[in-house]
Each structure stands twice: as structure tokens, then as C-alpha cells.
């Protein structure tokens, strides 16, 4: 049986860890050729090796890029098109959260700027170069489906509700991702390019565990989680797979929550 992303070409940023790592494996398992992009090349190479061993029928490669640099993002998209001949799925997932006390009074401007360069401009540039690449994709008349492409941007539950732990620059950056994704979805809907945000809840990945670096901080966050546990990166990757595939062909502009019920909590 063909996979849900059979023969599609996907680029995943932040592919060396957490959500990006699990999505890379899942996308490959579902038949996609995958370009694994990360600023940490050895981490991406490790994932690529795992994929090459487990799924020898798909093409995969690791690529070093800092999404906070426009020329790197362009080079990554160019590489995907060079290797796979097209780009169907762009997962703008890489992001950072500064572990320092990030509140209105303490946040340093350089932390704010770095967070926004990676989390906001990185997503913008990812969308920009993916749109340009996807415009070259043919429409699949036989399937009657838009084949322009699917662009998924990782936002966060903090873009929807306030977090009690100070992370102001991060929160503001994720709000920008959500707003940007909605507008892009509207502007490009008629050319068959879909844009959706994925909004993870608190996950057991290095990004959050480094931030909630004491048992007290973790317990405090757990109190707010209806399911009483942190999510697994693979649970978000399954949501990303749905948004990447034609199963979500009538969805664009959504904020797709994979948050253990957090954003519905009282
Ligand atoms: P992670 O720390 O496990 O992985 C992030 C990956 O991104 C790492 O491999 C890192 O090397 C890479 N990266 C960092 N900066 C980069 C850059 N400038 N260019 C390219 N790659 C870069 O984190 P994660 O939890 O998987 O987070 C992935 C996304 O999910 C982020 O956008 C994060 O903000 C978002 N998110 C995470 C949580 C959570 O609880 N973990 C919740 C909501 C949203």
C-alpha cells in the first residue's frame, strides 16, 4: 500500500531533535523523500542514517542551515529541489526558546532579536522560498487534489493562551507565526499552496526540559495539563503528517492544536 506521502518531497527544519526528528522519520516511513535541515549537522546526519537504514526506498539527505539566515534557508530549499526535483511539503519547525528569565522587565534586546530572527524570520524565509519552489509543481488533475504544496509552521499553545512561566520573547514570536500563517493561507489559497500552523502543548523535548530545568518548574507546568503529562514529540509529528498529506486537502489557515487539551482547559 502506498504511504500517505508517497513520492512527495519534504523539507523539515530542526530535523535533528524533538518534533523535527520524529516528523522526519514518520514522513520517510510514509514514502516521502526528506531533506533534514538543522544548524546542528551531526544531529541531522544521525537521523538521516537511521532513515537510510530503515527506509532504503526513500531518498534522504542532511543539510546544515541556520534558519536565522536568509541565504541558508534559500540554499536548503534549492538543495531539496536539486535532490528531489520538486518540493511538496515544507515544515518550518526549527525554533528556540531562551532559558533566561524572559519577561518584560528582564529580557535583553539581543535575546528578543535572536528569538524573533530564528522563530519569525526563519519561518517567513522558509515560506518565501517554498512558495517559489512549489509554484513549479504540476497540478494533479487525475486526483483532483491541489498539489501545489503544504507548508506547516510550528507555533505553540503559548500563541493562544498565556503561559505562567516568563517566556515573553518566545510567546510573542509564536503569536507572529500564527498570524503570518493565516495571512499566507489566504493570499496563496487559489494557487493550491496550503499553510497551517501546528500548535504543540508542552513536550518532553530538550527545548522545554532545558527551560523547565527543576522538578518544581516541571510540576508547576504539569498542574495545567488536563492529561497530567507532557506530550511526546512523535504525537506532534503525527499531526504534522496529517497536515502534510492530502488527507488535509481542504484545510488551510488553521491552528492545529496537539496540546493534550491544554488550550481548552479552564
Ligand atoms: P528541540 O530542541 O528538541 O529541537 C529543535 C531543533 O531545532 C534542534 O535540532 C536544533 O538544533 C534546531 N535548531 C535550533 N535553532 C536552529 C536554527 N537557527 N536553524 C536550524 N535549526 C535550528 O525542540 P522541539 O521541542 O522539537 O521544538 C521544535 C519546535 O516546536 C520549535 O519551534 C518550538 O518552539 C516548538 N514547540 C515546542 C514545544 C515543546 O514543549 N517542546 C511546545 C510548543 C512549540
Asked casually if ipTM beats, i.e. exceeds, 0.90, the reply is yes
Q: 148 and 139 in contact (C-beta within 8 Å)? A: yes
Residue 264 lies in a domain: no
pLDDT more than 70, % of the chain: 97
CB 255 near ligand 1, within 6 Å? no
Overall domain count for the chain: 1
Rounded Cα–Cα distance for residues 265 and 127 (Å): 32
CB 158 near ligand 1, within 6 Å? no
Structural domain range at position 163: 9-259
Q: 127 and 70 in contact (C-beta within 8 Å)? A: no
Residue 3 lies in a domain: no
Supply the mean pLDDT for the chain. 94
The pLDDT value recorded for residue 140 is 67
pTM (two decimals) = 0.97
- For 119-170, how does the pLDDT look when each residue is reduced to its tens digit (9 = 90+)? 999 999 999 999 999 999 876 676 655 568 999 999 999 999 988 788 999 9
CATH at 247: 3.40.50.720
Residue 52 lies in a domain: yes
- Which 3 state secondary structure label does DSSP give 14? coil
Residue 2 lies in a domain: no
The pLDDT value recorded for residue 163 is 81
Q: Residue 214: pLDDT above 80?
A: yes
Q: Residue 209: pLDDT above 60?
A: yes
Q: Would residue 250 show up in a list of annotated catalytic residues for this protein?
A: no
Sign of CA dihedral 23, 29, 30, 34: positive
Q: 221 and 212 in contact (C-beta within 8 Å)? A: yes
Residue 265 lies in a domain: no
Residue 87 lies in a domain: yes
Residue 4 lies in a domain: no
Residue 146 lies in a domain: yes
- Pick the closest to residue 112 from 53, 166, 154, 173 (CA basis): 173
Ligand 1 pocket test, pick from 19, 155, 173, 221 with the greatest ligand atom count within 8 Å of Cβ, gives 19
Sorting pLDDT into bands at 50, 70 and 90, what band is 67? very high
Burial class (CB in 10 A: 0-12, 13-18, 19+), 116: middle
Q: Residue 59: pLDDT above 90?
A: yes
Amino acid at each position: 500500500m502506498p504511504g500517505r506521502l508517497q513520492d512527495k518531497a519534504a523539507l523539515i527544519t530542526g530535523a535533528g531533535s524533538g518534533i523535527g526528528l520524529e516528523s522526519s522519520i514518520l514522513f520517510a516511513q510514509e514514502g516521502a523523500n526528506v531533506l533534514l535541515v538543522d544548524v546542528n549537522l551531526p544531529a541531522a546526519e544521525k537521523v538521516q542514517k537511521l532513515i537510510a537504514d530503515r527506509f532504503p526506498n526513500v531518498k534522504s539527505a542532511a543539510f546544515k542551515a541556520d534558519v536565522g539566515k536568509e541565504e541558508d534557508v534559500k540554499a536548503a530549499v534549492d538543495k531539496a529541489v536539486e535532490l528531489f526535483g520538486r518540493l511538496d511539503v515544507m515544515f518550518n519547525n526549527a525554533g528556540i526558546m531562551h532559558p533566561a528569565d524572559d519577561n518584560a522587565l528582564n529580557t535583553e534586546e539581543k535575546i528578543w532579536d535572536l528569538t524573533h530572527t530564528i522563530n519569525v524570520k526563519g519561518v517567513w524565509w522558509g515560506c518565501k522560498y517554498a512558495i517559489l519552489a512549489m509554484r513549479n509543481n504540476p497540478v494533479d488533475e487525475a486526483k483532483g487534489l491541489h498539489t501545489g504544496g503544504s507548508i506547516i509552521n510550528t507555533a505553540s499553545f503559548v500563541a493562544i493562551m498565556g503561559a505562567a512561566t516568563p517566556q515573553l520573547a518566545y510567546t510573542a514570536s509564536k503569536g507572529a507565526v500564527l498570524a503570518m500563517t493565516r495571512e499566507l493561507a489566504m493570499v496563496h489559497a487559489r494557487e493550491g499552496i496550503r499553510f497551517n500552523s501546528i500548535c504543540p502543548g508542552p513536550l518532553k523535548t530538550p527545548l522545554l526540559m532545558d527551560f523547565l530545568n527543576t522538578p518544581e518548574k516541571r510540576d508547576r507546568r504539569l498542574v495545567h495539563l488536563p492529561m497530567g503529562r507532557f506530550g511526546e514529540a512523535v504525537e506532534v509529528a503525527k499531526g504534522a503528517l496529517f497536515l502534510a498529506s492530502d488527507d488535509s486537502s481542504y484545510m488551510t489557515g488553521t491552528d492545529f492544536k496537539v496540546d493534550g487539551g491544554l488550550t481548552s482547559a479552564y
